[in-house]
Amino acid sequence: MKHTALYLRVSTEAQADEGYSLAAQAEKLEAYCRMKGIERFERYVDGGFSGSNLSRPAIEGMIERIRAGEVERVVVYKLDRLSRSQKDTLYLIEDVFLPHGVDFVSINENIDTGSPYGRAMIGILSAFAQLERENIFLRTRMGMVERVKQGYWPGGGKIPFGYDYDPQKGILVPNGDADAVREMYARYLEGQSTGRIARELGLKYEHLVGQILGRESNTGVIVYKGERYPGRHEPLIDRETFDRAQRRLRRPGRPRAAESGKLLTGLLVCGHCGAKMRYQKWGNAGDKLVCYSRDKSKPHLVHDENCPNRGVMAREVEAVVVRDLSRLAAAPEPSRARRTDEAACRRALSQAQRKLRRLYELYAEGDDDTLRESIDRLKRERDRAERALAEAQQAAERRDDSDARNALRTIASCWDGLDGRERQALVRALVDRIVLQNDKIEVYYAIETAKEQAG
């Protein structure tokens, strides 16, 4: 025999204060059944579930029993108890209830889909329920943005490693793991791999180190919905340290150390065709560095099917690179006096642009050959300033090499005591690429050397 389904839902405990408690709903629904002479009814209760979707165990079970032909009527205290989504409400009524001959009753709105009027009112009232839900979301979102603008932690989600959340003050507070976070940055910028850092600091997974290093909240900043706001919490590291770590994390063309135990993996380029090169087992002689154009194992990496690069034994190239790094570690750092000042280039460009705008304004007031000549001259000056700024920015990227300098010092002091992956991480921090053309080896560094500066 079919039964009447009494559906009850609350999303939060606060709704009990508004008369929406489960007990209050049950009382009203059962009173309705007694009034209508309905004897066979069952409760379907979703406690603590939002009405924004249908991912609720009780309503899913009710739908299954409706489709099995066991329900003749669904009764709710109020329409929004069924759903706050217009789409879901109409889906339940049009695609679940009506096709299976199930009437729907909402006591508060006095709606009964057994009548044409009741079916029409469902569409209207569900639209208002959807509007209210969206308004609640908008008010909550606006309030949260304003809270974050004032520097308070938005709450929700996971608290960053190294902090606890103080609900009274609404901010993050450094905890006992804060020193471990600072240690991660220091070790990483010294050239240690994320794997070694994880092992020595007791983290379960290597990728957690990368996640922690990439959290801008460690600098006292709150990132919310893609925007950055100054937070009220105490930073664990300064901005310069964070930016240096991000540059190393984002460095292109660097496979993770865990992916290979080979010292130069990911750095090798063929000097003939420009394709990448890889390690290949070469009998008892060891590994050979071969061009992918000659290897043919990965067609998408082939640049020239007739590449003449015959390759070179890996141990020979590795020895050259290690010797050169040792030489760099022993050499004095290049002088910084001759470096182009990026800020000065910006000032020169800004000055040229201001002058050019003034001349355009004067020219607009009256055609003048002298002004036209001055405009052409200033345009050339502006173009030169733009080129100088671009060059200064490129040079700055290569010169901002404090982490690489630390890696060099590590090589000088304890290279022999490092394992293969740690050596690989140090080499990646220092070398941009290695170009091989048969027996010719060219090493391009990620730092500025005294030789380069002199050149």
Instruction: Enter the tokens of residue 430.
Output: 């220092």
In one-letter notation, the amino acid at residue 27 is E
Q: Which single residue is written with the structure tokens 């642009």?
A: 353
Known catalytic membership, residue 11 = yes
Please tell me the distance from the alpha carbon of residue 370 to that of residue 423, in angstroms, as a whole number: 64
Q: What are phi and psi of 203, to 5 degrees?
A: -85, 145
Tell me how many degrees the CA angle 255-261-262 measures, rounded to the nearest 5.
80
Q: What are phi and psi of 418, to 5 degrees?
A: -90, 150
Distance of CA 290 to the CA centre of its chain: 36
Q: Can you tell me whether residue 281 is helix, strand or coil?
A: strand
The catalytically annotated residue of 11, 83, 106, 193 is: 11
User: 385-398: b or e for each residue (b if 16 or more CB lie within 10 Å)?
Assistant: beebbeebeeeeee
Q: Specify burial of residue 358 (Cβ count, 10 A radius: 0-12, 13-18, 19+).
A: exposed
Tell me how many degrees the CA angle 219-221-222 measures, rounded to the nearest 5.
140
List the beta strands (DSSP E) in 12-121: 41-47, 71-76, 103-106, 111-112
Task: Name residue 278's beta-bridge partners.
Answer: 290
First to last CA, the chain: 94
Active site members: 11
